A and B are shown apart, each in its own frame.
Chain A
């Protein structure tokens, strides 16, 4: 059984369901990518895993415990980190304060964690006293990821981390994400840049209208002619 698994998730924000018996799983030390066309419910699936919408059916299990009924805050305490797609930093606070807010629930000394994060994202150490809202798009994404890492999560969930950044910055972000994976964290990503994301993914899910369409290793999905034609533009 996977470390984090949402099984047969069915639900949505209002009366209409967006997810239809959708299953997503991720294990420690692997990158799992969710891709699919617009409106396929990719972000919704991730939010369902994080407890941000009510499931009508299905369950979410973390490390064998059923967490279906837990609030997002409670899931953060249990070791899940979530980086929203937008508004994912405190724009009026400094980079360091953003990281401190990430560690808000920690009572222990988190200075070593902060040092580790500064090693992972050296630019943030340089800019630690700068107001986060004044940083470039790529740097802001780094702050957002770093904030989530301050809780030392076992699972890191990223909702389109490369939305709106240049290809060079995207490659750099993906390199960092691989490093995070290599440290033993389970990484789950929703990505618009499907081809690039699948290239670094250990496994991928292709969702269509809230259902699992294809599930395979990243490489296999990239080579699957049907996936290529429908979702990767040829």
Chain B
């Protein structure tokens, strides 16, 4: 019996908890991608770097706060700096919209032009971030490390396996829950939110109903940028901040948005968790887990790992390709 419980705890510790936190971060990022797709109708390649930009601002202010001795322990100071990062990301995305995308919107450019443009914007943001904070790993977490420590868990339960939940994981899931609930309330209850959904659903009819496209686009950028800054900061707190990692997040983000059905907000949330759990379950080594469950003579010698963690991006890539081939509209029948 304890073997079975140990196996469960092991899986919770190394698959469920990290998967939930990573899934929440992906969900927030994918929501931004899907919102921009729904309203502006292009896949925004600059979204990963927008996340990096927002996070960078949060880090700089976190350092400043820390140098002044500000502390909100046990919570990380970065949460205090987060609103500033959100404002900076919003300013950045509204600025690029004004300088770049609006020009193409007035020309009614086809969406491939937008995609290429967003790749250009991506390089610029990428450059700005590396120029200001450098290409290296940055850590900015402070406050308490754990909600539940492995050692204490073992002592309390008498099991061989410990369960550790990092504070940043708890914060990630909680913040994501609040943000997602608030966003869905906004989209379904408010006049502007309904106008955004209507515009995404049927642009011509929305225009006919008197929805102002510039207003809808404005709100789409504001929300997507806020989500990007939040997602980026949570990811950075949980793991670490490195500009390249954020650029590379683009693939799982796009995969998450597509799995759920691009343009469909609920789909982005579900897609985020689907991608996260696919990555974590496929790259986890099940050797110890199986040892607990199987008789000794059956115990595997190998790691029982389907794919090395080095190849985790292959999973997003495969999922993305399979979705596009088999069900381009995604789980929730978004736009193809």
Contacts and interface: CB of A to CB of B under 8 A. Distances in A.
Contact of A73 (B191, B202, B207): B207
Interface in A68-121: 72-73, 76-77, 82, 84, 87-93, 97, 100-102, 104-105
A112 to B, nearest CB: 19
Interface in B189-223: 191, 194-195, 197-198, 201-202, 204-211
B211 A104 contact: yes
Contact of A90 (B202, B207, B210): B202
Contacts of A73: 207-208, 210
Contacts of A87: 202, 204-205
Main secondary structure of the interface of B (DSSP, over half): helix
A28 to B, nearest CB: 22
Contacts of A147: 205, 209
Given A100-B194, A101-B194, A101-B195, A76 B201 contact: no
Interface string A139-180: 000000001000000000000000000000000000000000
Given A84-B204, A87-B205, A92 B197 contact: yes
Nearest to B206: A101
A91 B202 contact: yes
Interface in A34-93: 72-73, 76-77, 82, 84, 87-93
Residue from A72, A97, A104 having most chain B Cβ neighbours under 10 A: A104
A76 B210 contact: yes
A105 B202 contact: no
A129 B246 CA distance: 41
A92 B205 contact: no
Contacts of B194: 93, 97, 100-101
Nearest to A71: B207
B204 A101 contact: no
A90 B208 contact: no
A147 B201 CA distance: 15
Nearest to A144: B205
Contacts of A97: 194, 197-198
Given A100-B194, A101-B194, A93 B208 contact: no
A51 to B, nearest CB: 11
A188 B307 CA distance: 65
B195 A91 contact: no
A104 B209 contact: yes
Nearest to A72: B208
Given A90-B202, A91-B202, A76 B208 contact: yes
A103 to B, nearest CB: 8
Contacts of B207: 72-73
A89 B205 CA distance: 7
Nearest to B211: A104
Given A97-B194, A101-B195, A104-B209, A91 B204 contact: no
B195 A90 contact: no
Interface in B207-245: 207-211
Given A90-B202, A91-B202, A82 B208 contact: yes
Contacts of A72: 207-208
B205 A84 contact: yes
Q: Give the 6 A-B residue pairs with the shortest CB-CB distance, closest first.
A: A105-B210, A90-B201, A104-B209, A92-B201, A101-B198, A104-B210
26 contacts: A72-B207, A72-B208, A76-B208, A76-B209, A84-B205, A87-B202, A89-B205, A90-B197, A90-B198, A90-B205, A91-B201, A92-B197, A92-B201, A93-B194, A93-B198, A93-B201, A101-B194, A101-B195, A101-B198, A101-B205, A101-B209, A101-B211, A102-B209, A104-B210, A105-B209, A147-B209
Given A76-B208, A76-B209, A104-B209, 12 more contacts: A90-B202, A90-B205, A90-B206, A91-B201, A93-B197, A97-B194, A97-B197, A101-B195, A101-B206, A101-B209, A147-B205, A147-B209
Interface of B: 191, 194-195, 197-198, 201-202, 204-211
